[in-house]
Every structure is written in C-alpha cells, then in structure tokens.
Amino acid sequence: MHPRERRSTRRQFLFASGGTVAGLAGGDALLRAAAALGALEGAPMGPGGIPLARRNFPVTLPIYSDNEPIASGKSPEKGPLNVFNWADYVNPAIVKKFEKEFHVQVNVTTFENEEEALAKLTSGKASFDVWFATVEYLSRAVAGKLVQPLNHSYLPHLKNVWPSLQSPFYDVHSRYSVPYTIYTTGIAWRKDKIKNGPPTFSNPYDIFWQSKNYSGKVAILDDEREALTMALLRRHIYDPNTTSSKQVGQAEKDLAQLTKLVHVKTNTSDYTDVPAGSTWLSQAWSGDMAGAPSYMPKGTPVSVIGYWRPAKNAVVGSDMITLLRGAKNPVLGHMFLNFILDNKVGVENFSWNGYIPPLNVINPEKLVAQGYIPKNLTSTIVRESDFKHGLSILPLTTQGQTVWQDAWSTFKAGG
Amino acid sequence: MTRRWFWPSFALPGAAWLVLLFLVPTYAVLAVAFGTVDPIFNNPVPVWNPLHWQFATMRSVLDDLRPGHVFWVVFVRTFEYVGISLAGCLAIGYPVAYYLARHARRTKALLLVLLIIPFWVSYLMRMLAWIGLLLPDGLVNKTLMDVGVLSHPYGWLDGQASSVILALIYGYVPYLILPLYASLDRIAPQVLEAGRDLGASPISTFLHVTLPLSRHGILAASVLIALPMFGDYYTNDVISGSPRTSMIGNQINLFFQGGPQRTVGAGLVIVLSLLLAVLMSYYLWVTVRASRTETIL
Amino acid sequence: MRRVRDWWANPWGQPRFLAFVTWGYMAWSIVPVGIAILFSFNDGRSRSVWQGFSTRWYWGDPNLSVLHDPSMRGALEQSLKLAALDMVIAVPLGVGLALGLTRWVGYGARPVNFLMLFPLVTPEIVMAVSLLLIFVTLYKIPLGTTAQVLGQVTFSISYVVVVVRSRLLSIGRQYEEAARDLGASALGALRLVLMPLLTPAIFASLMVVFALSIDDFVVTDYLSSNESTQTVPIKIYSGVRGTTTPALNALATVMVLATLASVGLAFFVYRRVNSLQRAEAGSGSALREIAALEV
C-alpha cells in the first residue's frame, strides 16, 4: 500500500495540549534568537518563532534547554521499542532483523496521514520512541517540543547518506532528523496507449493540457500542494512555496481548465490505475511507478509504463525519521535510526517499499542490473543531483496555507 | 407529589444526553465559525461568548457565496442534484408505494419484505454494488456493447453527473418509499370508493382524491430524504472522482481535512443548516402535529 | 372479446402498469446487490469480471481474505463492537425518553420533544462536524471508539423514541390503569404490565439501532482515529474506487447477512409477541407495523 494514500480521507484535529502552546510563548533565549535571526533575514516565520526553512535559507533548528539530547555512551534499553510509522512503509523483515540483532521487541504502530499522527502524538496518550516524519511537520514538531535532538555519537551510519542530506537545509547538522526516503513527483503514462509521451513535448507538463483524446483517462494527484505546483511548474514558476495569490490563482485556473478539457480525475491511486490501464496519464510519485511491476495485470508487460520527471527543478520530497521527546528507549531509538541507515538494510528496505533511501551506495545501474527496477523505469531512481537541483514543498505561514487552500477549494468546487 | 416527576424522570437521561451531545455541539459550530485559529497546529479556537465573536470568517464565506463565486457554484449544483434526484425518487417511488398500499393484496407480504431489504443493506454497499456494475469492464458496459449501443466502454465512473444522480436516486429511494407507503396506507379505501361511486374515472380519482390526500405524505417523505442528501458527499466521492460533480458536503469535508480554515468549514455548515432550516421546520411541524393526534408516524 | 374488455376496464382489478413498475423496481433495487454478493465469491481479483466460484475472499486467501486480512477483520469487529455498544446505551435512553415524553404533562414536554426530533432531520455531516468540534475543543474526548459510540448513540436515541412511542400510543393507558386500580404502584404497573407489552417495540428498536450503527458512515468516520477504528462502511468508502479485491464485497456481504439476520430475528420475535397480543384492533399485520415504524 502506498504511504501517501488516503491522505485526504481523514479529518483529524491536533490536540494542542495546553503545555505546548504555552511553552512556545515562554521566553527561551535560543528561541528568541532564532526569531530575531529569521526576522533579519526575511524568511517566513513559522510557529514558535522558528523560521520556515527554504532552500536558500537553511534553518538550524533550536535546541531548547529543557529538551536536550541524551548523553553519549549509554547502553541500550531493554525495549520494547515503539515505532510510529506510515502504514506499509518499513519492511517487516528489517524490523525482525533489528529485533534479532539487538534482542528486543519492536512494536510498529501505523498512521494514515500526518495530521492523524500529530493528533496522536500531541494527545499525550501515546508513548512512542521513533516517529517517521515529513519536512512539512518537522519545524512544528520541534516548536511543539514533540521530538528530541539527536546525539550523533550513536549514529555512525549517518555518513552513508548523501552529503547534501547529512546536513539538509531544513535541519542543518541533522539536529532532529535523519533522512529516510527520497522521491520525485513526475508524470506516469502508458506508452502503449499514448504515442507522444511527456518527453516529446517542449514543455512536458503541457501533455495534460493537450490530452483531450484521452478524456477520462487522465489523473492528477489529489494533493493540494502537488497538483497546484505542477501547474506552477508548467508556467515556469519554480517556487512551490509561493504565497502569491496571483500565481496560485492562475495555477488553479489552469487546473480548472483540465477539469473541463479532459474530465481530470483526482486521486492517489495512480500506482494501481496506471498498471491496470484505467488511467493512461497521471501525475505520480516515483515510488509509485517503481512498484508498478507488482501491480501489472497478467499479460501486460511492465515495459508499457513510462515515468518522466525533469532533470532540474523536479519536485523532490523526502521523509525522515525522528526521535520523540517522551521516548522511553532513546538509546535504542538511536540505534534503530542508525540501523535503518545501514547500507544493506537500506537496499533491502527499498526492495520492499520501492522508495529510494538517499544512501551513497545506491547505484542506479546496479539497481537495474539486480532487477530491482525495470529498465524503462530508471527515471524513478532519485540521484543526489536531483535533490541538489530539485524543488521542495515546504511548510507555509498561515496566510500562505490559506491562499493555497482557497485555490484548492475553488478547484474542487469544479466551477 | 412523586407522581408529577415520575414520568419526566424517565426522560431525563435521554434528554440530558441530547442536550450535551447534540445541542451543545451545535453551539460549538457557531463558536468555531465565529472563533479564531491557533497558528501552530491550525486548531480552531472557539469563542464561546457571543460578544467576542469574530466575523471575518463568516464575511469571507458569505463573500464566496455571491453568484458566480466558489460556494455559490457548489450550492447551486447541490440544489440541482438534490432536485433532480428527488424528482427521480418520487417518479419511481410513488407508483411503487401506491401499488403496495392500494393493491397487491396477495403478494403484499412478499413485496414488503423485498422493499424492506435494501433498507437494511448498507448505503455504501449499495454503492459498491453499482460501482462493480459501472466499472469499464463491468456488466453495464458489457451488456451495452453486446447489444450494440456502445462501441467501446463508457466511463460511467469518470466524473459523470448522471452517474452521481442515478446513484443518489438508487441510494435514497428506499428511504422515500417506506414512509410514503405508510402514509398512503392510511388513506381509507372508503374515500376512494366514494370517489368511484360518484362516477369519477380511475385517473380522475387519482388526481382529485388520492393525490391531494397523499400530499402531506409526499412532502414529508421528500423532506426526509432531501435533508440528508444535501449533506451527502460520499456518494460523489465514490461514484465520481472529479471536481465537476462536487457537492457542498465535499467542500465542507475539504476544510476539515487539514489546513488553517476549519472555521470556514464550520461557517459552511452554518450556511447549509440555515438553508435547510426551512425544510426542517416544515417537517418538524408536520411530525408534531401528527404525533399530537396520536397517529402512528 | 367482451370479457377481455371488461377485464381491462375493471376498476377494481389489478393495475398492470403499476405492478410492472413495482416488480421492476424491486429487481432494480435488489439485483445489483445480489450481483455484488455473487462477485464476493469470484475466483479472481476482479470485482466485475467473473472468473469462477471460490470462497477465497471469505476465508481461503491467507493474506487478503476477510478472515485473514487484519484490517478487514478489524473493520468487521469494530462495526459489531460499535453496534453492540450503541444498542446497549441508546435503547434504554430512548425507551425512557419515549415513556417520559408520552406521559409527560407539563411545560418541559414540548421542548424536549423538539430536541428529540432534531437529530432525525439533521444532515449527518452537520452532526459529525459539531460532534468533532465539541470533542476536540471543549469536552477533550480523544477520537476513537469512545467518540464514535457517543456520536452513534446521539443519533440513535431519536429512532428508538419514534419506534417505542408509536407502540406506546397504540397500547394506550388502559392496561396500566387497570393495574393501578387493582392496587399496583406506578412503578409496579410499569414494570409488570407496560414493559412486557412494550417488548416487541423494544426489540424492534434494538434492531433499528443495530442497522443504523452498522450502516453509519459520516459520524463514524469523522470521529475515527486510525486504522483500528475503521468500520466496514469506512473500509468500503476508502477501497471501492481502487483496485481492491472482492474481499471488499465479501466484507460487505457478511455485514448484510448480519443485519438481515438480526432483522429477521427481531421480526419473528415481534410477530410472536404480537400474535399473543391480538386483542387490539386495527394493528394490521406485523409486517405493516414494522414498515410503518420507519420514519
């Protein structure tokens, strides 16, 4: 099952426990310093005074005096280790391996989307050690003191990670997170149904607006940010975090055109629809198409699937693993993070969930040679250069979120 | 005087429950729509004291309700769908209810059982049934292609308004037929006989006697299904994947899935409730009047 | 020829057109569900193309069948759990409310009556949103099974009241008054005379609440927390547009059978008790009563 699936079918509230909100108003020197820094640089300010990270404005997340990393050199706890993760996002075989190696039990609890996850985490009732987070929610989690800073002495495997992700712009020095998977957003299509795929267009995104012949077989992601961003990219606006209502409004109008032209569908089931042939052209995540071989119906070769994303300015997403502040097994948790970053483990995990870990050992040619990825889908592999030259969908201010949500609501109204 | 409090005390637990879990939550919707939003986690912060209510949200909601704007479009479309579906339900349901009430003497029991069955089949399962039939390789397409009406499979589930309306009709018509049948059943056959005795033709009897007598039943049953239909969003979600057929329930749903505008969602709920208040009060008036005359309702 | 014409013109004869429409409607209404149930026995993964008969989706398939897939089984269990809790809480509350409202003479009765009727006419999304908001902001009740039960009971009570009240009205006060005349206390008359008479209605209301709970989608979904609190309708909603297997059909079929079984059971009990109380005139057949009970 796809981790991003059903992102839109839940409505969850976050329990802003009195403590977290009050704590933010309190006077933490580091906090105020960060706020001042952000104000000087002109970066958008996020909750708790932590500036919202942008590629050209990297953020060093603050370490609060009442939330410091654990001491070095401690021995691991007895467990059980409680892991909080997206559904079907970590290979159960890997979890078993960890259990064997460290002689502990691991409990994996799953969630369907971040809001649901945060609701559980802030309710005060949950007791997890490890949490798989996303960029969008990291700064909030830090501001709300949900996650604890990491002690890198327990994380020797961090050097296996791409250099540019060992100290990413959203978490300089990897204070709170280690990267887990990396993926791009591109266009998937059926080569046997569509003669002229995206690469044949001078502006590949245009294929959607010229797909009248495939009416009813075209889909975009049911994701506010991803869908509107594609419209922005088509117009060569390479800022998926713009808060200009003019730009976002134009993007919405472009998408509305698609509704009229081709009866565009919005869903996140591209990973089954494209192999099944009920959708011929879809916006898709790289991991979706990497997993296509297991969804192909009998008799249809996987070579009919095509996936394209731009070499530069592709939307690159990354998920990360964090350690929760109330973790009962912080040392064990560190070891779990370290374990995931092991080269062998990373590849084994990828072979199961189809999402690339940003490890140096990942060699696209080898992946194809070893049969992990079919030859026609090498574009689903994400390389470090993709990340370096890519765009990230990042958290916005409340006003920014409102602009985007209003545009999405207008699009969904189908006027 | 233990007597006076005897009966009301039985009603107390139930009434208390409804106050706490129905009345107060209704006020919470108002408090949220006129409240603010906590910027860290996008939680709504309700404002309980009406004197401190913030009107910015409702102003923007009303702003988008103007003709041509977002919410207007969706509301109009919702009204259209509900109207057409209601007409369809009545066109199908009235003859059936009428037949059951006035005729079908021998097969009445069987027909009633058959009528009641879909009532107890989950709404979503009935949608599941239709989706199975409407899939590109489903029975509907197969049959139409075999018969020659279609040359290639039609995308019934690709954002077609007709599919959504048909699904609404299919889904809601059982809820219309039963109360309609119950009220038609109550019309004394002697009245109709009198009409015939006085020389009216069958059609005339129907038009001038039966139909007017069943007027209240029709209206009550129509309101009974129109109200939930207005808030329906899941039918559209499962039958059509397209924004072209979205209803107001879908918009409300959108704002509650995330983001900083749950207040707008609450505001839309208020607008919807006000629009339906007319229908609701009519139904309540009819019900109370009927229950006071001790008729089975 | 004359006989045919007379038969055609007979005003008391069966109208063929209406009969045709009615039977046609029955088929249109039930056949799709029948086909969906049929496909739950499909041998392949398709929900629309028949590939042979098999029970794999019920218990055969070791990963995806309803029995073996933990999320499917969990949905079934959650649906039944919520229904049981809903019945146990809503019916007593509703019966009490019905008793109180029918017999109450005083100022309070009117507003309570209105209050009781409101959930019947409120669209589910309005109720779901209001419950969600109150649980999160004021009552601080975490979403999940507790919240779902609270929500389901809230809209079930009114249905119980409607069912029980109509029965109360048709029973009338005669039996209680006779008992009081013979020396019973108010409580005694209630316990020994009225409640037994109400049993069929209580049973009917249990069955109504069960079916309402099993079928409920919006309130249950809005108040759910994670996968473990998903019910069968939620599972169907999230899976029906994708390429899920006929296990979904199987899950839905199990639900339908459970509901129909409970309805059938309640109906027979109702009929049994009713036939033992044939004294009242004008109640018609039990079937008609049940049909008429649905508001």
Q: What's the rounded Cα separation, in Å, for the pair C198 and C210? A: 18
CB contact A298 to C (< 8 Å): no
Instruction: Tell me which residue has tokens 């001078």.
Output: A202
Q: What share of chain C is helix, strand, coil (3-state, %, to 5)?
A: 75, 0, 25
**Paired strand residues for A82:** A107
Q: Is residue B9 part of a domain?
A: no
Write the DSSP symbol of residue B136.
Answer: T
Chain B residues whose CB is inside 8 A of the C22 CB are 95-96, 99-100, 104, 111
Q: Could you tell me which residues come within 8 angstroms of residue B95 by beta carbon, excluding any fewer than 6 positions away?
A: C18, C21, C22
Q: Using CA coordinates, name the residue in chain A closest to C139.
A: A15
Q: Is residue B258 part of a domain?
A: yes
Chain C residues whose CB is inside 8 A of the B249 CB are 123, 125
Chain A residues whose CB is inside 8 A of the C140 CB are 15
Predicted confidence band of residue A342 (pLDDT cuts 50, 70, 90)? very high
**Contacts of B among chains (3+ CB pairs under 8 A):** A, C
- Scored b (16 or more CB within 10 A) or e, A169-182 reads bbbeebbbbbbbbb
**Paired strand residues for A266:** A220
Q: What's the rounded Cα separation, in Å, for the pair C249 and C80? A: 17
Q: What's the rounded Cα separation, in Å, for the pair C258 and C264? A: 10
Chain C residues whose CB is inside 8 A of the B230 CB are 123
Predicted confidence band of residue A9 (pLDDT cuts 50, 70, 90)? very low
pLDDT score of C277: 65
CATH class of C70-293: mainly alpha
Q: What's the rounded Cα separation, in Å, for the pair A61 and A44? A: 15
CB contact A338 to C (< 8 Å): no
CB contact A125 to C (< 8 Å): yes
pTM listed for this prediction: 0.84
Q: How many CA atoms lie within 13 A of C154 on its CB side?
A: 32
Predicted confidence band of residue A398 (pLDDT cuts 50, 70, 90)? confident
Q: Is residue B188 part of a domain?
A: yes
**A42: pLDDT strictly greater than 70:** no
Count of helices and strands (H, E) across chain C: 13, 0
pLDDT score of C263: 77
Predicted confidence band of residue A193 (pLDDT cuts 50, 70, 90)? very high
CB contact C257 to B (< 8 Å): no
| Contact state of A111 with C226 under an 8 Å Cβ cutoff | yes
Q: Using CA coordinates, name the residue in chain B closest to C172.
A: B294
Q: How close C148 gets to chain B, by Cα (Å)?
A: 12
Chain C residues whose CB is inside 8 A of the A6 CB are 238
- Average per-residue pLDDT for chain C: 84
CB atoms within 10 A of CB B277: 11
Chain A interface, best mutation among C69, C125, C225, by max A CB count within 10 A? C225
| Alpha helices (runs of H) in chain B, residue ranges in sequence order | 2-18, 24-33, 56-63, 70-102, 108-120, 123-134, 139-147, 161-185, 189-197, 202-205, 211-213, 215-230, 234-239, 248-256, 262-292
Does residue C94 contact residue C159 with C-beta atoms inside 8 Å?
yes
pLDDT score of A14: 27
Predicted confidence band of residue A24 (pLDDT cuts 50, 70, 90)? very low
Chain C residues whose CB is inside 8 A of the A295 CB are 243
Does residue A82 contact residue A162 with C-beta atoms inside 8 Å?
no
Pairing of strands A81-86, A130-134: parallel
| Contact state of B159 with A263 under an 8 Å Cβ cutoff | yes
Q: What's the rounded Cα separation, in Å, for the pair A408 and A390? A: 24
Residues of chain B with pLDDT under 50: 1-2, 294-297
**Contacts of A among chains (3+ CB pairs under 8 A):** B, C
**Paired strand residues for A38:** none
Q: What's the rounded Cα separation, in Å, for the pair A11 and B233? A: 14
Instruction: Tell me which residue has tokens 């109509």.
Output: C166
Q: Using CA coordinates, name the residue in chain B closest to A6.
A: B257
Domain of B163, CATH number, reads 1.10.3720.10
Residue among A54, A63, A130 at smallest CA distance from A98? A130
Give the amino acid at A294.
S
Q: How close B138 gets to chain C, by Cα (Å)?
A: 5
Average pLDDT value for residue range A394-407: 90
Q: Could you tell me which residues come within 8 angstroms of residue B247 by beta carbon, excluding any fewer than 6 positions away?
A: B74, B77, B78, B81, B230, B232, B233, B236
Q: Can you say whether residue A145 is alpha, beta or left, with left for phi > 0 and alpha for psi between -120 and 50 degrees?
A: left
| Contact state of A272 with C243 under an 8 Å Cβ cutoff | yes
- Name the residue facing B243 among A47, A266, A402 (closest C-beta): A266
Average pLDDT value for residue range C164-171: 86
Does residue C96 contact residue B11 with C-beta atoms inside 8 Å?
yes
- For every residue of C216-282, DSSP letters joined together read --HHHHHT--SGGG--HHHHHHHHTTTT--THHHHHHHHHHHHHHHHHHHHHHHHHHHHHTTTTSSS
**Paired strand residues for A81:** A106
A178 in helix, strand or coil? strand
CB contact A238 to C (< 8 Å): no
Least confident piece of the model among B176-180, C9-13, C60-64, C236-240: C9-13
Supply angle C-alpha B142, B148, B150, rounded to 5. 65
Q: Is residue B140 part of a domain?
A: yes
Q: What's the rounded Cα separation, in Å, for the pair B249 and B268? A: 9
pLDDT score of A6: 37
- Name the residue facing B257 among A8, A20, A278 (closest C-beta): A8
Q: How close C62 gets to chain B, by Cα (Å)?
A: 24
Cα B17 off chain centre by: 25
pLDDT tens column, A293-302: 888 888 889 8
- Name the residue facing B95 among C21, C123, C151 (closest C-beta): C21
Does residue B63 contact residue B69 with C-beta atoms inside 8 Å?
yes
Cα A95 off chain centre by: 21
Q: What's the rounded Cα separation, in Å, for the pair C74 and C88? A: 21
Chain A residues whose CB is inside 8 A of the B257 CB are 8-11, 115
Least confident piece of the model among A122-136, A191-205, B15-29, B139-153: A122-136
Write the DSSP symbol of residue A43.
Answer: P
- Name the residue facing A9 among C140, C142, C238 (closest C-beta): C238
Q: Using CA coordinates, name the residue in chain C closest to A276.
A: C243
| Contact state of B131 with C295 under an 8 Å Cβ cutoff | no
**A329: pLDDT strictly greater than 50:** yes
B186 in helix, strand or coil? coil
CB contact A40 to B (< 8 Å): no
pLDDT tens column, A57-104: 888 998 888 888 888 888 988 888 999 988 778 888 999 999 999 999
| Residue B224 belongs to domain spanning | 41-296
pLDDT > 90 fraction of chain C, expressed in percent and rounded:
34
**7-26 of A, contacting C, C-beta below 8 A:** 9-13, 15
Give the amino acid at A34.
A
Q: How close B89 gets to chain A, by Cα (Å)?
A: 26
pLDDT tens column, C104-156: 877 778 888 889 988 988 899 999 999 999 998 888 888 889 999 999 999 99
pLDDT score of B270: 94
Predicted confidence band of residue C11 (pLDDT cuts 50, 70, 90)? low
| Contact state of C225 with A120 under an 8 Å Cβ cutoff | yes
Residue A227's H or E segment, with its range, is: helix A224-234
CB atoms within 10 A of CB A259: 20
Write the DSSP symbol of residue A391.
Answer: B
Residue B81 dihedral angles phi and psi, to the nearest 5°: -60, -45
Predicted confidence band of residue A30 (pLDDT cuts 50, 70, 90)? very low
Q: Is residue B212 part of a domain?
A: yes
CB contact B37 to A (< 8 Å): yes
pLDDT score of B127: 94
In total, how many domains does chain B have? Answer: 1
Instruction: Tell me which residue has tokens 């266009």.
Output: A187
pLDDT > 70 fraction of chain A, expressed in percent and rounded:
89
Q: Using CA coordinates, name the residue in chain C closest to A275.
A: C243
**115-144 of C, contacting A, C-beta below 8 A:** 132, 136, 140, 142-143
| Contact state of B260 with A13 under an 8 Å Cβ cutoff | no
Does residue A58 contact residue A169 with C-beta atoms inside 8 Å?
yes
Instruction: Tell me which residue has tokens 């410091």.
Output: A68
| Contact state of B254 with A414 under an 8 Å Cβ cutoff | no
How is residue C221 written in tokens?
């979904």
Least confident piece of the model among A26-40, B10-24, C69-83: A26-40
Residue C17's H or E segment, with its range, is: helix C16-39
CB contact B202 to A (< 8 Å): no
| Contact state of C131 with B21 under an 8 Å Cβ cutoff | yes
| Contact state of C170 with B296 under an 8 Å Cβ cutoff | yes
Residue A4 dihedral angles phi and psi, to the nearest 5°: -90, 0
Residue among C262, C49, B23, B128 at smallest CA distance from A298? C49
Q: Using CA coordinates, name the residue in chain B closest to A10.
A: B257
Give the amino acid at B106.
R
Q: What's the rounded Cα separation, in Å, for the pair C121 and B274? A: 13
- For every residue of C64-102, DSSP letters joined together read TSTTT-HHHHHHHHHHHHHHHHHHHHHHHHHHHHHHHHH
**A23: pLDDT strictly greater than 70:** no
Residue A337's H or E segment, with its range, is: helix A330-340
Burial (CB count <10 Å: 0-12, 13-18, 19+), residue A370: exposed
A216 in helix, strand or coil? coil
Q: What's the rounded Cα separation, in Å, for the pair B293 and B97? A: 24
CB contact B138 to A (< 8 Å): no
Does residue A177 contact residue A321 with C-beta atoms inside 8 Å?
yes
Q: How close C265 gets to chain B, by Cα (Å)?
A: 13
pLDDT score of C286: 47
Residue A321 dihedral angles phi and psi, to the nearest 5°: -115, 140
Average pLDDT value for residue range A136-149: 86
**Paired strand residues for C101:** none
Beta strands in A135-247 (DSSP E): 147-148, 177-190, 218-221
Q: How many CA atoms lie within 13 A of C252 on its CB side?
A: 35
- Average per-residue pLDDT for chain A: 84
Residues present in chain C in total: 295
**A219: pLDDT strictly greater than 80:** yes
Does residue C151 contact residue B8 with C-beta atoms inside 8 Å?
no
Residue among B268, B266, B269 at smallest CA distance from B46? B266
- Does the ipTM surpass 0.85? yes
**C284: pLDDT strictly greater than 60:** no
Q: What's the rounded Cα separation, in Å, for the pair A172 and A167? A: 5
